[in-house]
């Protein structure tokens, strides 16, 4: 009988933890239940200086950096929506294909109508790679849009 209590406590901790994570976890909650819609990205896609264009719900928007991205040097990620797509929130996550680079996730803030900005900083790659992918996710009118934009640091 004494062995049951720890198991119950562990189970309870798990349930409570899961509930907290789903309520207050940084990027879970409502989004996780939404269908992911792939953004269609126009090629060529160059994040600096021109920016990449993509289409969500028939509206064109762009994603760009404010400077050539370098490791350890803060830069801005700018999401600009031509047509006022009502974005609820937006986040960028930086990854390397096939390599765990830790969590490099930054939330964009609304700066003006149709303009969302995040300050980001990238770690140095331990193997010297410079090829990154920035994954943009934003929620608009009940859809979760996701697109991956490749770029290189220098």
- For Cu ion, the closer of residues 108 and 122 by Cβ is 122
- For Cu ion, the closer of residues 96 and 146 by Cβ is 96
User: Which structure tokens are listed for 121?
Assistant: 């900083």
- Out of 129, 130, 143, 150, which residue is the one contacting Cu ion (CB under 5 A)? 129
- For Cu ion, the closer of residues 80 and 125 by Cβ is 125
How far is Cα of residue 61 from the mean position of the Cα atoms in its chain?
16
- Out of 125, 135, 144, 148, which residue is the one contacting Cu ion (CB under 5 A)? 125
Span of 15-23, 31-39, 81-89, 129-137 interacting with Cu ion by CB under 5 A: 129-137
Residues 65, 92, 144, 42, CA torsion sign: positive
Distance CA 1, CA 46 (A): 64
- For Cu ion, the closer of residues 61 and 106 by Cβ is 106
Q: Restricting to residues 42-101, name those near Cu ion by CB under 5 A.
A: 96, 99
Q: Does 16 bind Cu ion (CB under 5 A)?
A: no
DSSP string spanning 113-146? TTEEEEEE-BPPPTT---EEEEEEEEEETTEEEE
CB 18: neighbour CB atoms within 10 A?
11
Residue 25 C-beta: closest distance to Cu ion, Å: 26
User: Which structure tokens are listed for 3?
Assistant: 């062995």
# residues contacting Cu ion (CB under 5 A): 4
Q: Which residues bind Cu ion (CB under 5 A)?
A: 96, 99, 125, 129
């Amino acid at each position: 009988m004494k062995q049951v209590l720890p198991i119950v406590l562990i189970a309870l901790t798990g349930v409570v933890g899961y509930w907290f994570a789903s309520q207050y976890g940084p990027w879970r909650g409502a989004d996780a239940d939404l269908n992911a819609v792939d953004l269609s990205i126009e090629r060529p896609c160059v994040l600096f200086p021109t920016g990449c264009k993509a289409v969500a719900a028939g509206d064109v928007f762009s994603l760009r950096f404010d400077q050539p991205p370098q490791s350890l040097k803060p830069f801005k990620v700018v999401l600009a929506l031509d047509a006022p797509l009502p974005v609820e929130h937006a986040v960028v996550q930086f990854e390397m294909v096939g390599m765990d680079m830790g969590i490099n996730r930054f939330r964009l803030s609304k700066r003006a109508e149709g303009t969302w900005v995040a300050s980001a900083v990238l770690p140095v790659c331990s193997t010297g790679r410079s090829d990154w992918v920035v994954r943009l996710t934003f929620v608009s009118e009940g859809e979760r849009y996701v697109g991956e934009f490749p770029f290189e640091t220098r």
